[in-house]
Structure 1
Amino acid sequence: MNYKTDPEWGVTINKLSGGGVDHVLDIGGGTTLANSVDAARIGGHISLIGILGGFTAELMLPKLFTKQIRMTGLSVGSVEMQNAMVRSINISGIRPVIDRSFSLEELGAAFRYQETGKHFGKIVIAY
């Protein structure tokens, strides 16, 4: 689901899945949490991974209680955890969406591009 073309993607996912999904991975925090709650099924789980969107989320406590959603906050782990994740990604075949690559010399331009919010997917710094 593309959050830029569907600002209410949580409702859309809920409808397309026939009542919500089991597990939502949310990396946006304040800017995406409401949609993540809408996308989750009753009894679903949201993994809140970081807070790229800041701490501005208004938790919809009544909806969290009604849907009996479990939420877990995750932060950056150890090197061993990172290596285990990379192994899992390699085995599963998951591939990230890469919007644009920059050389290390273009690091400033990469940050300016990120600030525009026009990217969809990852911004890569190649060295």
Structure 2
Amino acid sequence: MPPAFTEKDIPRIIEQLRLSGGIKTVAAQRLNVHRKTLHRFLEDHPEVTEALRDIDAEIADVAEAQVVKAINAGDMQTVRWFLELKAKDRGYVRRVENVGKNGGPMEVVEKTDLSAYTDEEVAIMAAAARRRKESQASNQG
């Protein structure tokens, strides 16, 4: 069975990667091969992988240009997103406040490191914890 691609297919593969915006699955569909075939070809041909990196960088440049346009147009959601992402050193960070039930304080239960205890001591603590749970359950019921 002949290989799906040969060296002479490299320009066509790069062109399809470019037309698909670097999305390999779409490029493989356009090339009429399975995506795994394209992935294997990329692994074997570093020059195509390098071209794909260039395509990804070009797409990132286009996306960044759109962010700048949105900022220049006064799109405050984009402005805020940009500042939270790129201007943290200037104090633009998203503040997240974690609270417990009904807005109260969060309950934090610190787990005990049991590695320093013997198996017998751990068994004693486990039995005490079971008795405590049973006692709490009977007091609530």
Larger radius of gyration: 2
* Normalised TM-score (structure 2): 0.19
Higher helix residue share = 2
* Normalised TM-score (structure 1): 0.20
Higher strand residue share = 1
